[in-house]
A = this chain, B = another copy of it.
């Protein structure tokens, strides 16, 4: 990925909902989940509490990794944002890396 295409989100989150594993017509596994995140972040020099929910999807081997943690798993993830579909502009996080971490 060149810098001109930079699109990378890194986030610690909890897998709040885990959708049933599905497969593409070619048989590739696809797992979807809802990630929830809470933290304190700094904005314009002030600390603020942040909460956000984000739909995420994992394809291929990573789908199996996501599923293996089950709902409630705490994860450190990396991925890129893409519009959900042509009809829905909601951003979805496409996971490229999932690490399970200890809960807070």
Q: Which residues of chain A have a CB within 8 Å of any CB of chain B?
A: 1, 3-12, 28, 37, 39-45, 50-54, 59-62, 76, 80-83, 89-91, 94, 96, 104
Copies in the complex: 2
Residues of B within 8 A of A40 (CB): 1, 5
Residues of B within 8 A of A81 (CB): 9, 11, 37, 50, 52, 54
A23 shortest CB reach to chain B, Å: 13
Contact B10 A6 (CB under 8 A): yes
Residues of B within 8 A of A54 (CB): 81, 91
Given contacts A7-B39, A54-B91, 19 further A-B contacts (CB under 8 A): A1-B42, A5-B40, A5-B41, A6-B10, A6-B76, A7-B11, A7-B12, A7-B37, A8-B9, A9-B9, A9-B81, A11-B81, A41-B94, A51-B82, A52-B81, A52-B89, A52-B91, A53-B89, A54-B81
